[in-house]
Each structure stands twice: as C-alpha cells, then as structure tokens.
C-alpha cells in the first residue's frame, strides 16, 4: 500500500482539500463553498476526496488550516493544525524554494508573506474589512450582472481603467454606481475594480513591506487575470501564479502532515460520526464567559472561551 496525506483549508468563503503522496504529487483535490457551515462543507469535501482516492493508498496524516482549523481538526483527528501563514508559506516553498514574496488574496481576507532562504521573515494580514477581496469582487460582479470569473477577460480588454475608491466596500459600490451612471464602459469599470484591488492591497496589507522577486500570487483572486496584470504593472515585476494557487494552503498543511506523521493510519469515514457544538454562558464569576463545547459522538472533546481555565 502507498502512503498519502490529507490537507484541508477551511475558510469563511471556501473550503479546499488535497491528498498528496510522499513525493508531494496531488492524488485528489476539491474546492467547494463553505456556506457558513464548515462541518457540513468538510463532510461533502471528504466524501468527494474519498471517491477520488485510489484503493491502493492508505492515509497516514491529516492537517487542517484556515479560520475553522481547530474545529475541523477535532472532527478529523488531525495530527497537525496550523495557521494560514505557515500553511501557505510551506506549500509555496515546497514548489518554489527561491520565493521571496507571497501575495495572497482570498474570499474575505488577504495576506502578504516575506520569505528569505525558505524562512518567514515578515507577514501581514487584512481581516478587518473585505474591501479588495474575493467577496468584494463577487458582490461587484453581481451588481454589474456578470460572473466574477469573467472579470479578468473584461479587464484585459480595457486600455482606460476608471479610478474606483476601493479602500472601503461601501465607498467602492457608491463610486461604481456613479461611474456606470456616468456612461463609462463596463470593461473600463471592471479594469478599474481590478486595479483598485491591487492598490488597496499594496496600500494596506503591503504597506511598509519590501516586495522582492520571485513573487508568487495565490488565493482565489489570483485566477483573475486583470488583478495579475495590475500587480505586474504597478510592481514592475513578473508575478507567478501557480496552477494550484487556490489550493496552496491545503497543499502546505498536507506537506506538514506528512513531515509530522505519527505512524497512525487515519480514516475518511465521517458518515456515522456525530459532531456538534453547543454554546452557553458561565455566570460563576464576574467574567461571564461565553463558552463553546464541542461534542463528538456525544462526548465533550474540547471547550473554548474560558478565561479562568475552569473549562
């Protein structure tokens, strides 16, 4: 039997999963929407990956990353649970060992990671506002009556991108409506949106950071050719978009699961596992902690939120 390793990246917008072998080749992969239910999304994800996995492979490690990594780590009995910065860096360095800068724009957040000799030297994240992220672009696509997947092609047709104020989603939408009502062409408005995403990212997430080549761009927005174009234009440097740029976090955490394997064999059978959470408030002291208990097969496997440590 051949060994394989599962990596799951659970974000607020999308959930990604990959299964790799000992040589970091992807055996199976899947990208689905989280739809505000990470547990159900992961159940769907695992079912799909299990169907794709050849019978001659045995699972020897599981890693989870993303905003729901702790919760899903408990569900899957993961041997590695790490933050997104670490996962994205490991995934990128595995395939691009000389990388110096990682640009990442996802559904509701974005990040920049600076690397030297394969080691993270600095990073920054934008999680307070969704301006300039995938969710922002998707909402503007609906307003324009387009599929966000077509944004890149529209942007490349434009030679005159309009200026869109994208530091705030509310202001951007107001500006977009004004530009549309003023008669600007749709391709120029879309190009302006793509350029504003780049400017917003560099002025906020990348502020004060020295961006050095090689530059790798990943996350769902990296598939937008218009955004890639304006990153290259403004930075004056080639920006590399890996084929699996939208899966790099999942790949990175799968690599870490391989490197930290325990010798155990893991199962992808989730159909009969009871898993749920229950929130309550503790009033036994002045803290009035809002607690969350996690139940797996009717047993409490963890609890979060206790300031005094009682739970």
Q: Is residue 135 part of a domain?
A: yes
For residues 11 and 33, give the distance between their C-alpha atoms in angstroms, rounded to a whole number: 9
Beta carbons of 115 and 212 less than 8 angstroms apart: no
Q: Is residue 310 part of a domain?
A: no
Q: Is there a cis peptide before residue 214, judged by omega within 30 degrees of 0? A: yes
pLDDT in tens, 16-70: 999 999 999 999 999 999 988 999 999 999 999 999 999 999 999 999 999 899 9
CATH number for the domain spanning 58: value is: 3.30.420.40
pLDDT in tens, 146-171: 888 888 888 888 888 888 876 666 67
Beta carbons of 212 and 236 less than 8 angstroms apart: no
Same domain, 59 and 151: no
Q: Is residue 295 part of a domain?
A: yes
Same domain, 107 and 237: yes
Same domain, 172 and 229: yes
Task: Give me the domain span that covers residue 33.
Answer: 2-90+250-259
**The total number of structural domains that make up the chain:** 3
pTM, whole model, 2 decimals? 0.88
Q: Is residue 309 part of a domain?
A: no
Same domain, 103 and 213: yes
Same domain, 72 and 8: yes
The closest of 60, 67, 58 to 38, measured between CA atoms, is 67
Is the pLDDT at 108 greater than 80? The verdict is no
Please state, in angstroms and as integers, the Cα–Cα distance from residue 83 to each residue in 24, 68, 230, 248, following that order.
20, 10, 29, 13
Q: Output the pLDDT for position 172.
A: 72
Beta carbons of 7 and 250 less than 8 angstroms apart: yes
Q: Is residue 264 part of a domain?
A: no
Token code pair at residue 165? 């104020």
Same domain, 174 and 283: no
């Amino acid at each position: 039997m051949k060994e394989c390793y599962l990596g799951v990246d659970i974000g607020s917008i999308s959930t990604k999963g990959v299964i790799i072998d000992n040589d970091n080749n992807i055996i199976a992969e899947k990208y689905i929407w989280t739809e505000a239910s990470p547990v159900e999304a992961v159940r769907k994800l695992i079912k799909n990956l299990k169907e794709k996995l050849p019978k001659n492979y045995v699972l020897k490690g599981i890693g989870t990353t993303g905003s729901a990594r702790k919760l899903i780590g408990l569900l899957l009995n993961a041997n590695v649970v790490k933050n997104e910065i670490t996962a994205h860096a490991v995934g990128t360095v595995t395939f691009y060992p000389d990388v110096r800068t990682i640009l990442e724009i996802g559904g509701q957040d974005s990040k920049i990671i600076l690397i030297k000799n394969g080691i993270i030297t600095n990073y920054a994240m934008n999680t307070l506002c969704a301006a300039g992220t995938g969710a922002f672009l998707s909402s503007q696509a609906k307003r324009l009556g387009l599929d966000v997947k077509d944004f890149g092609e529209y942007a490349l047709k434009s030679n005159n991108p309009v200026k869109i104020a994208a530091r705030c989603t509310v202001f951007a939408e107001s500006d977009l409506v004004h530009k549309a009502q003023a008669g600007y062409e749709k391709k120029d408005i879309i190009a302006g949106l793509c350029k504003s995403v780049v400017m917003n990212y560099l002025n906020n997430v990348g502020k004060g950071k020295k961006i050095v080549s090689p530059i790798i761009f990943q996350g769902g927005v990296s598939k937008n050719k218009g955004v890639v174009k304006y990153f290259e234009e403004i930075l004056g440097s080639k920006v590399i978009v890996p084929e699996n740029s939208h899966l790099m976090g999942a790949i990175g955490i799968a690599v870490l699961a391989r490197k930290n394997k325990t010798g155990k064999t893991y199962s992808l059978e989730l159909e009969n596992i009871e898993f749920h959470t229950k929130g309550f408030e503790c009033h036994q002291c002045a803290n009035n902690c809002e607690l969350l208990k996690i139940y797996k097969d009717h047993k409490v496997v963890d609890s979060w939120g206790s300031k005094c440590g009682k739970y």
